[in-house]
Structure 1
């Protein structure tokens, strides 16, 4: 089955108080649980928001350069992602909608190119 990336940019989250974010824990956790129960979840997780904790690696010059911070000046950056293994675009869009409802902010969904996702052995 194809793999799909469901993701959001941190700026799509919006400004909310702590109580609002706490109100999203149960609905978003329920979606992840449903994905696990359906056997479609490959990975889900949010990223640290502080860009100063990011690092970039660039080998385009022929020499590897690893630097602190994001690769380029940007106004948007990735906030979190989910990878699902589902049969088709319709199923991927359904799960993206479920994630958007659970989290309370928009999500984008895109299919990985065929053969581009390598399976990782977790814990072994």
Structure 2
């Protein structure tokens, strides 16, 4: 089956108070439990928001250079991701919708290129 990435940029979350975020815990974890129960969940998780905790690795010059911080300055950055293993685009979009409802902010969904997850599936 194809695998899909469901993700959001941190800026899509919006400004909310602590109570609002606490109200999203149960609905969002319920979606993850449903994914687990239906056997479609590969991975789900949020990323640390502090960009100063990021590091970048670049070998395009022929030499590996690892630096602190994000690779490029940008106005948006990845906030979290979910990987699902489902039969088709329609199923992936349905799960992306469930994640969006559970979290309370938009999600984008994209199919992985064929063969791009070989390392995970062969080694796992």
TM-score, structure 1 as length reference: 0.96
CA–CA distance in structure 2, aligned partners of residues 88 and 121 of structure 1 = 18
Report runs of 4+ in structure 1 exceeding 4 Å deviation.
121-124
Question: Cα distance, 1:118 vs. partner?
Answer: 2.8
Question: Cα distance, 1:68 vs. partner?
Answer: 0.2
Question: Cα distance, 1:55 vs. partner?
Answer: 0.1
Give 5+ residue unaligned stretches, structure 1. none
Between the two proteins, the alignment pairs up a number of residues equal to 124
Question: Cα distance, 1:120 vs. partner?
Answer: 3.3
> 1:46-101 deviations in whole A, cap 9, x for unaligned?
00000000000000000000000000110000000000000000000000000000
Task: Name the Cα RMSD after superposition.
Answer: 1.8
CA–CA distance in structure 2, aligned partners of residues 8 and 35 of structure 1 = 18
Counterparts in 2 of 1:32 and 1:7: CA distance versus 1, 3 Å = same
Give 5+ residue unaligned stretches, structure 2. none
